[in-house]
Each structure stands twice: as structure tokens, then as C-alpha cells.
Amino acid sequence: MTDEQVLIPRHVAVIMDGNGRWAVERGLDREEGHRAGRHAARRFMRAAQARDIEAVSLYAFSTENWARPTPEVDALMELIETALLVELQELCRHGVRLKVSGRRWELPAPLQRALSNAEEATAANDDMILNLCVNYGGQVEITDAAKEIARLVAAGELQLDDIGPDMFGSYLYVPDLPPVDLLIRPGGDLRVSNFMLWQIAYAEFYPMTEYWPDFQPEHLDAAIAEYSRRQRRFGGLALDD
Ligand code: FPP
């Protein structure tokens, strides 16, 4: 492959990290960092759509984030709710369909309503999917799916031999997404932090040292350029091996 060839990933997932450090380094509250992170998410969405990416997944709140101080948790819940209300028209104008991954039933009622409202209002949009991960954890997603499958087996509605990877994947929160091709993590850490553990099986990992609020479209171009240079073998052999 020549350097000029650009491969567009179908599904890009982002661990939006570094909001707190971005704020603290500026003498601001951590909440300011999350607000700046929200605007970075908007820039990212626009850049992803302009590059014909089919689906993006954003890690907005993890099942572990409840351990943060209550004011920060409350601020995040409000921020996500407000973003959904404010950005809904924009999502519709750009043909973006919202999907939600996570234990949404444990979220505050106003946020649950905003999520459902945005899902319904964008249900017919087909230009790009935004999979918003809220109260999301990869381990609970997999165990929730396993529990549902176990329930169906116990009820005699499924046989053990029916269970396989494709079938299991259809019990995840948002089953009809393409697998994640590219996983971007700003903020300098080199770990996956319980994000989309099933879906990232063969994702290419792209860490960034910049904090998420500093995200610019050029970072996505750099990530795509790096992705295009990677040789994806999916456990097989390269074509020229
Ligand atoms: C991690 O940074 C970030 C979060 C826990 C929240 C991310 C949420 C947003 C950016 C809101 C986006 C909303 C929508 C609707 C897209 P951190 O606080 O762990 O940063 P640190 O590692 O520097 O402390």
C-alpha cells in the first residue's frame, strides 16, 4: 500500500479522557473540563461525518464513574442531558441517528427521558450513527447479555448449541453496529478502561497525548492516516506472507 491510500474506518470509538487535567492545568473546575469536552465531542462528530465514518461511539460515563464525588457526577448527568437537548436539532439536520449503550435504567429520570426522546427523534436518520455510552461498562454489557441468554436457555427458548459469537453479539446493548475499527484514546493513558470489550476485539488502538478538550479535526486525520498504515490480519496471515 502506498502512503497516499487512506482507509476510512467504518466505526470509530473514543475514550474521551483528560477533561479533568485540562481544566486543572488552567486553574478551572473539573466540570469546566467536561464542558470543554462536550464541545470537543461536537467537533469530533462533525469531522467524523465529513470523513464518511458510519458510526462513532463516545464513552460519556462509565459504570465506574459513579465513584467520583457527587457534584462531579451530578454535573456530568446534567451536561449530557443538556447536550442532548441542545444538539438534537443539529443531529437531525445532519442525519445522525442516536443509539444508547449502557444501563440507562439506572440513570436519573430526566436524563433517561432525554436519551429516549433523542433516540426517537433521530430514529429515521441514516447518515451516521452516534452510539452514546452512558453508565456503560464492557464487563456489565457482556454479563447482562449472558444473563439474558441464560434466562432464555432456562426457559427452553434457546438451546446451548445456539450460542456462538454472532448470536451472543446480538444480545449486546446496540447489536447492529459494525465492529470497532479504530479506538482513539486522548490523555496519554494506554489502556481500554472497560470500553466496548466485545466490540474492540480487532480494533486498532490509537493513543493521543493531547487531552480530549484539545481535540481538533487534524487529530482524526492523523489517526486515520495511522490506521491506514496498519496491517490488519484478524489472526490470519498478511496477503504477502
Ligand atoms: C474522562 O475525563 C471524561 C469523562 C468521565 C466524561 C466525558 C464526558 C463528556 C466529555 C461529555 C460529553 C457529552 C456528550 C453528550 C457527548 P477525566 O475526567 O477522567 O479526565 P482526567 O483523566 O484528566 O481526570
Walk along the chain (241 residues) in steps of 10 and give the mean pLDDT of each run: 80 98 98 98 98 98 98 98 97 98 98 98 98 98 98 98 97 96 98 98 98 98 97 80 56
CATH number at residue 66: 3.40.1180.10
DSSP character at residue 174: S
Confirm whether 6 is domain-assigned: no
Count structural domains, the chain.
Answer: 1
The catalytic residue positions are: 17, 65
The predicted model scores a pTM of 0.95
Q: Which residue has the cell 438534537?
A: 88
Q: Is any atom of ligand 1 closer than 6 Å to the C-beta of 58?
A: yes
Rounded to 10 degrees, the C-alpha dihedral 7/124/87/35 comes to -50
Give domain status of residue 1, yes or no: no
Looking at residue 233, its pLDDT comes to 86
Domain-embedded: residue 106: yes
Classify residue 5: in a domain, yes or no: no
141 contacts 173 by C-beta, under 8 angstroms: yes
Residue 34 CA to ligand 1 center (angstroms) comes to 5
237, part of any domain? no
Rounded to the nearest angstrom, the distance between the alpha carbon of 117 and the centre of ligand 1 is 23
Residue at 122 is within a domain: yes
235 is a domain residue: no
pLDDT of residue 1: 47
Q: Name the closest-CA residue to atom 24, ligand 1.
A: 20
Nearest of 139, 203, 194, 216 to residue 11 by alpha carbon: 203
Q: Which of 12, 14, 17, 78 to mutate to test the pocket of ligand 1 (most atoms within 8 A of CB)?
A: 17
- Does 41 sit in the ligand 1 pocket, CB within 6 Å? yes
Q: What ligand 1 atom has the least distance to the C-alpha of 62?
A: 5
Residues with Cβ within 8 Å of residue 28, at least 6 apart in sequence? none
The domain of 123 spans: 11-229
Q: CA–CA separation, 135 vs 133, rounded Å?
A: 7
In angstroms, the CA 182 to CA 14 distance is 8
Is residue 4, in this structure, part of any structural domain at all? no
